[in-house]
Amino acid sequence: MAPYAGRTIELTLAVPHPEWPGRRKFRGDIVRVEGDALTFLPDAAPAPGEAPAPLTVAWDDVKQAHLVHIFPDTTRPQPGGKTGQRKKAQPKKPARGGAPHDDTTDQGTDPEEHP
């Protein structure tokens, strides 16, 4: 996990963390990984009005952990003036091969006349 320092992680602890009574699920940025411990900065604070502080947990206490993939916003203008939005649908081209169909030749014929 050391190469992932700075990335966002979601983790679930086997038991609630003592500094966060009753809370087992966390999301935050990995600060460092040392030996059998992981330090991350949670997205929230343990109490209203407090600032989030780095939290260190032992790997043995982690029940589940995975990286959160954050995809770039492609709707904003990119360098070069491109917006990254999809192109508008183009009208379909006629099928290749064969003669073009002429609707005027079918007028006045009864489909039951020609078996």
Work out the pLDDT band at 30, boundaries 50, 70, 90: very high
Per-residue model confidence as pLDDT tens digits over 66-114: 999 888 877 866 666 555 555 666 677 766 765 555 555 555 555 555 5
Domains and CATH numbers, the chain: 2-67 (2.30.30.180)
Query: In terms of C-beta distances under 8 Å and separation of at least 24 residues, what long-range contacts does 10-16 make, across chains too?
Result: 10/65, 10/66, 10/68, 11/38, 11/40, 11/57, 11/62, 11/63, 11/64, 11/65, 11/66, 12/62, 12/63, 12/64, 12/65, 13/57, 13/61, 13/62, 13/63, 14/61, 14/62, 14/63, 15/61
| Average per-residue pLDDT for the chain | 79
The pTM of this model reads 0.58
